[in-house]
Structure 1
Amino acid sequence: MRTTHRPLTTVALALSLFMAALEMTVVSTAMPTVVSDLGGLQSYAWVFTAYMLSSTITVPIYGKLSDLYGRKPVLLFGIGLFLVGSIASGLSTSMNMLIAFRVFQGLGAGAMQPVALTIVGDIYTLEQRAKVQGAFSAVWGVAGLVGPLTGGLIVKYLSWHWVFFINVPVGLGALALLIFFFHEKVQHKPQKLDFAGAVLLSAGVVALLFGVQGTGRSLLALPLGAVLLGAFVWVEGKVADPLLPMSLFKIPVIAIASVAGVFFSVAMFGSTAYVPLYVQGVLGGSPTEAGGMITPMIVGWPLASLVAGKLLLRTGPRPLIIGGLGLTVVGTALMALLLKPGASMLVPGLAMALFGIGLGFATTSLLIAVQTSVGWELRGVATASTMFFRTVGGALGVGLMGGVMVAQLMKDPRVSFSDANALLGPGHGQELSPVLLETLSGALRFGLTINFWIICGCTAAAFAVGLFFPRGGRDKGTVLPSTDVTVSH
């Protein structure tokens, strides 16, 4: 069979991850402007959660499909669907349209990150993998540097619609490289996808998301979600080829990585979604300044990941995981304490940098530990399960914080959503009466401050879970030849 060109395959995988990273920073920068143009501050969280929800529920499905049918077709499909969703999002003329097309983007993104990282696990040895995973984290750093600036310039000189169109050339380049330079041979077995598990998992996560964002009757979705997820666990224990094998979570490394991933992802996605909103809506900053507030986090992350990749073989994952998660607690505590009106941008910037450095140490070490705890036949679903818990944590966290913010804004009966939208417009609500402007700004500030303390609490919970990570366990796992990827079940 044809051999894989590993360097060019690696470039294609890096481009895929770059799209996902750039999407996060650029959209976060542009969102306050999108709200002022399309209206719908009450739906602000849904622009993020629709994307994360659709990517979350598909991650384990794509992971299983990649184990059954190979990585290449699944990743190509994901990138293609992501590009379709990007183009459609850029053409949106209402908030509801944008949310709907963000779902399509997320359906594609659900394949991109876990399958790309699984391929890295396939074509590199453990020693090489630690370095490559660290280098891949540098992709997020580059996106962190150029994303806020790019988003600010696009909003200022073009239109927010173009923050979605910029994915197209990057995605086409990744598709071309994968088609021509990544090759694998898959020996299929007569296995069926666990559709019952997929439906129960999807419905359960959707119900939870509606429940955490709502009040009154919508809170009934929380017990419904719990019942559906309980049924999912029961079904997975009965079917011959489960979507998410429950036996995986008997491995302490995977169980701890999953639980910790839920908590620190609430903090990560919450910071990305709501720090820019605070800067623009409360501090009156520009879109570029708003996006720039998350840059220290996204730059500190890959720098720490590069260091973690070099230290991992010497120290093992445990010290890096505990130390990294400890740093995230320090960073988010400083953010909650210091991000207030009149604060210097340098102080919360330092807090976000510490947060990012901690994430870089912890997430890289956790992912490599998970991948080396299983063989090829389970590496796709094990990687995907880790990504699943991270994205479900992010989706539920952003949704919960969106509900907190809207509840605070709507406490005063004099406030309407159109008034709240005006707060994010170019004039920062100067057309509103002074009393109403002060009321709105105070409510938004109070709601977002609550969110920052939620973020801090979640990093503390992740740190507590990380303390249970097993000592030792530097299993090098099994890998395939690095230049000739032959997949056999």
Structure 2
Amino acid sequence: MVSTDVTRTATTADSRADGIWAPSRRALTVGLVLAVTFVAFEALAVATILPLVGRHLGDLRLYGWVFSAFLLASLVGIVVAGTLADRVSLGRPMLYGLGLFALGLVIGGTAPDMAVLVAGRAVQGLGAGVVPAVAYVAISRCYPDGARPRMFAVLSTAWVVPGLVGPAIAALVATAVGWRWVFLGLIPLVVAAGALVVLALRNVPPPANPDPATVPYLAVLGVVAGAGTALASLNSGVLPVVVGGGIAGGVLLAASLRRLTPPRYLTARPGLTVTILSRALLTCCFFAGDAYVPYAIVTVRHAPTVLAAIALTASTLTWTAGSWVQARCIARYGPRRLVRIGECLVAVGVALMCAVLLPSVPPALAIVAWTVAGGGIGTAYSPLSLTTLDRAAPGEEGRATSALQLCDVLGQAVGIGVAGAIVAASSTGTGHGTAVALAFSFAIAVAVTAVIAGTRLPGRLTSPRSADEAADT
């Protein structure tokens, strides 16, 4: 009995020493969580106050580009930061990223017109793209295998508080002291969190065998230019522009992606290739639906705005719950099963949103629908991150995770852009309900494609220690 107690005590002590809250990692964990939290808060806050900003600054033609500029610019930050992370101490790219994010807040908070606001959001996007890229590499180098699933779950949890209170706080600040302080008021908090995480990352050395590859600036700019051209063409509503610009943008995008992703990225080859493709398909289908959940509830069904807020909040909570579930189940079920289950749940949630569009269906069903979808992406999202780290070659974690984040954000941009083009092109002739139903149908088709591609995901992580210790987190 004494021997058993001693062994159990020693095991517990070892587990705490290897955990995310171990004294050697506590400051890093807190700093990474705060950095992700502020990026999440700003994303949700801008969506809340943008109608007020648009009325004040005018030029509503640029309304959508407030989001698109952020997403496309973040692609540059993701790839550049991921490449630098394979060569230098992680504190340096994180410092640059948070500095750019703070500069974007200043530009946005003092913008005299919508064009300057779009420029500020682009600068914010550059900085925001650095945060997840550096965070993923930091998790790979600073946390033991068994602690990684829990750390990914904690980073997902960093979206919970902004999801619960971010929109309400943003609306309150905009009403009380003006919308500009939604941007400017966050700057001191970003500086404080940045100091903490940069100091914690300062002593993390670069890899022993750094990747000598140069930063692929032209390829990154090609991705941004290609995606931007294709999305702008799709939203033009002019058929020759849609066809010509869409083809030109798509060709440039595909050619540029070849230099930034694993070989034959679109062929769904088993291993790292299909993992990164699956992340793009997952975010594409979820965010194509997520962007139009409030539209479906408020504009199509004429339900109160509070119902849309509840649906989005419920989705944030179940995303977090799904992330914690995968942390405990990935050792038993493996990434392939968890990812495909999550993708199926997203498809079910979007299908239920199609039902919400029917006049005979209570609009409150949207809460159930997006609760299911949120749980689905939460279950599927983190296993793809873990699989990327598991299958990346030593010393190339930065390039692998930057490719994952690149396709993550590209999936969001393409999903929202294509859904928006569908709604814009269809609403005039068929009505809002049918237009949104077509956008949701696009999201379902992408989800089905993701489930099919998911059959080639790895059934198990290759690191036995990672699988065993993940079950204990």
Alpha-carbon offset, residue 189 of structure 1: 7.5
Alpha-carbon offset, residue 128 of structure 1: 0.8
Structure 1 residues 14 and 299, CA, compared in 2 at 3 Å: closer, same or farther?
same
Equivalence for 2:449: 461
TM-score normalized with structure 2 length = 0.83
Structure 1 residues 213 and 70, CA, compared in 2 at 3 Å: closer, same or farther?
farther
Alpha-carbon offset, residue 43 of structure 1: 3.4
Residue 204, structure 1, aligned to residue 226, structure 2: yes
Equivalence for 2:351: 333
Residue 218, structure 1, aligned to residue 241, structure 2: yes
Structure 1 residues 449 and 163, CA, compared in 2 at 3 Å: closer, same or farther?
farther
Question: Hey, what's the Cα distance between the residues in 2 that align with 1:35 and 1:463?
Answer: 39
User: What are the residue-to-residue correspondences of 1:83-102 with 2, within 5 Å?
Assistant: 83-102=102-121
Structure 1 residues 46 and 153, CA, compared in 2 at 3 Å: closer, same or farther?
same
More divergent stretch after superposition (65-74 vs 296-305): 65-74
Structure 2 residues not aligned, in runs of 5+: 1-21, 467-473
On the 8 A contact 2:272/2:388 being kept in 1, the answer is: yes
Alpha-carbon offset, residue 299 of structure 1: 1.1
Equivalence for 2:78: 59
Q: Cα deviations across residues 155-197 of structure 1 (Å, max 9, x unaligned)?
A: 4434333333343233112211023332223377865323443
More divergent stretch after superposition (283-292 vs 62-71): 283-292
TM-score normalized with structure 1 length = 0.81
Alpha-carbon offset, residue 53 of structure 1: 0.9
Alpha-carbon offset, residue 229 of structure 1: 3.8
Question: Hey, what's the Cα distance between the residues in 1 that align with 2:56 and 2:296?
Answer: 18
On the 8 A contact 1:47/1:99 being kept in 2, the answer is: yes
Equivalence for 1:265: 283
Amino acid at match of 2:155: F
Q: Cα deviations across residues 357-387 of structure 1 (Å, max 9, x unaligned)?
A: 1111101111101111124411111111111
Amino acid at match of 2:447: T
Question: Hey, what's the Cα distance between the residues in 2 that align with 1:376 and 1:474?
Answer: 14
Amino acid at match of 2:225: A
Structure 1 residues not aligned, in runs of 5+: 237-242, 412-441, 479-489
Question: Hey, what's the Cα distance between the residues in 1 that align with 2:356 and 2:29?
Answer: 40
Find 1:470's aligned residue among 451, 454, 458.
458
Q: Cα deviations across residues 304-354 of structure 1 (Å, max 9, x unaligned)?
A: 101111111222212211111111111111012214568645310111111
Equivalence for 2:263: 246
Q: Cα deviations across residues 406-458 of structure 1 (Å, max 9, x unaligned)?
A: 334566xxxxxxxxxxxxxxxxxxxxxxxxxxxxxx84444333322222222
Amino acid at match of 1:371: L
- The structure whose RCO (Cα within 8 Å, separation 6+) is larger is 1
Equivalence for 1:482: none
Question: Hey, what's the Cα distance between the residues in 1 that align with 2:73 and 2:158?
Answer: 23
Amino acid at match of 2:328: K
Residue 8, structure 1, aligned to residue 27, structure 2: yes
Question: Hey, what's the Cα distance between the residues in 2 that align with 1:476 and 1:101?
Answer: 45
Find 1:26's aligned residue among 14, 20, 45.
45
On the 8 A contact 1:81/1:105 being kept in 2, the answer is: yes
Question: Hey, what's the Cα distance between the residues in 2 that align with 1:69 and 1:58?
Answer: 16
Q: Cα deviations across residues 209-239 of structure 1 (Å, max 9, x unaligned)?
A: 33333333432122223432454366x4xxx
Structure 1 residues 372 and 7, CA, compared in 2 at 3 Å: closer, same or farther?
same
Alpha-carbon offset, residue 462 of structure 1: 1.7
User: What are the residue-to-residue correspondences of 1:222-371 with 2, within 5 Å?
Assistant: 222-232=246-256, 236=259, 244=261, 246=263, 252-283=270-301, 289-339=307-357, 344-371=362-389
Amino acid at match of 2:156: S
Find 1:389's aligned residue among 390, 393, 407.
407
On the 8 A contact 1:297/1:353 being kept in 2, the answer is: yes
On the 8 A contact 2:265/2:274 being kept in 1, the answer is: no
Residue 184, structure 1, aligned to residue 204, structure 2: yes
Question: Hey, what's the Cα distance between the residues in 2 that align with 1:162 and 1:233?
Answer: 38
Question: Hey, what's the Cα distance between the residues in 2 that align with 1:334 and 1:190?
Answer: 49
Question: Hey, what's the Cα distance between the residues in 2 that align with 1:263 and 1:348?
Answer: 23
The alignment partner of 1:68 has SS state of: coil
On the 8 A contact 1:126/1:476 being kept in 2, the answer is: no
Residue identity (%)? 27
On the 8 A contact 1:373/1:477 being kept in 2, the answer is: no
Q: CA RMSD in A?
A: 2.9
Alpha-carbon offset, residue 56 of structure 1: 2.0
Equivalence for 2:10: none
